[in-house]
Amino acid sequence: MNIIFISNKSERARKLTLTGKHITLLISAFLSVIVILALSLNFVSLRYADRIDAPVLKAVLVSPQEERHQKIQAHLQDNLNIMASKLGQMQAQLLRLDALGERLVESSGIKSQDFLFNEAPGQGGAYTDFSSEELTFGEFSHRLQELSNMLDERADKLGALDSLLRYDRLTKYVLPSEMPVETNWYSSGFGYRIDPFTGKRAFHEGVDFAAEVGTPIKAAAGGVVVYSGRHSEYGNMIEIDHGDDLVSRYAHASKRLVALGQVVLQGQKIAEVGNTGRSTGPHLHFEIRHKDKPQNPSRFLKKPS
């Protein structure tokens, strides 16, 4: 093959003769360049495709299969983020349930070693391949949501139970059930009796506990002091409001130790036994009144019966 070159600057033409060997070498070189460029583009697409910001160039370099793989990876990552969020919520719920469970155990009096809330419950058994199946992603997500709903339901029920136990425990503290003095007998009971001053039949609105002067008088239940002063018949008297229109009265004291409006606890010393007011000797006159009507203290006090 002869190739003739003609130049405008020179009147002389040049001739290039190509043999079959030359043409083969040129074709081989051209194919080699194409192969090298293809390999280079493939390396770049695999190594740096995720760092390229140009959408057009990225579309050219990334193959459809790789693009589909990236979409699947992104979808899986999104689902993992959602499940991680749910898992975090469930962990917070479990911490709250653990704290609530420990409080319920304490309130109910159950032995704490029977419920170890900071340890996983024991599980086990022999392994078998019978009917064993792997969970799919959809099934796992469904089970996770079911467990989250169950945790919410259990938390609501345990919260309601905790409220009931708290109310029951508080009720025990506000009921005037503790003996106001250390004694096991009444010197005068509740109801009709012969009045020691008039000798006539009269209704006694409380009970009398005979005791030495200075014997501690304790609050039968917690509450607020609504009266602390001198009474013409009851002498030094204290009244404690326990709520729900329930009031306890302590009369004939030699000394009052609490003031009006003061909050007292069950068993707290509030006065000392005396012989003030309309009294024949040292004793405590104790009353329980509901809506200002006298009640039999023996219905509330633990002893004497």
pLDDT in tens, 250-284: 999 999 999 999 999 999 999 999 999 999 999 99
Residue 70, pLDDT score: 72
Give the pLDDT mean for 175-179.
87
Lowest mean pLDDT: which of 1-10, 63-72, 130-139, 197-206? 1-10
Whether 93 contacts 151, CB under 8 Å: yes
Q: Looking at residue 221, what DSSP letter applies?
A: S
Whether 231 contacts 277, CB under 8 Å: yes
- At CA 186, angle to CA 184 and CA 190, rounded to 5? 135
Q: At what angle do helices 137-174 and 64-108 cross, to 10 degrees?
A: 20
Tokens of 239: 């009244």
For residue 304, whether the previous peptide bond is cis, meaning omega lies within 30 degrees of 0, is yes
Residues with Cβ < 8 Å from 9, sequence gap 6 or more? Answer: none
Q: What is the pLDDT of residues 50-93, one digit of tens each?
A: 555 555 555 555 556 666 777 777 777 777 777 777 777 777 77
Query: In whole angstroms, what is the distance from residue 248 CA to residue 60 CA?
Result: 91
Residue 305, pLDDT score: 43
Tokens of 226: 């609504």
Query: In whole angstroms, what is the distance from residue 160 CA to residue 100 CA?
Result: 11
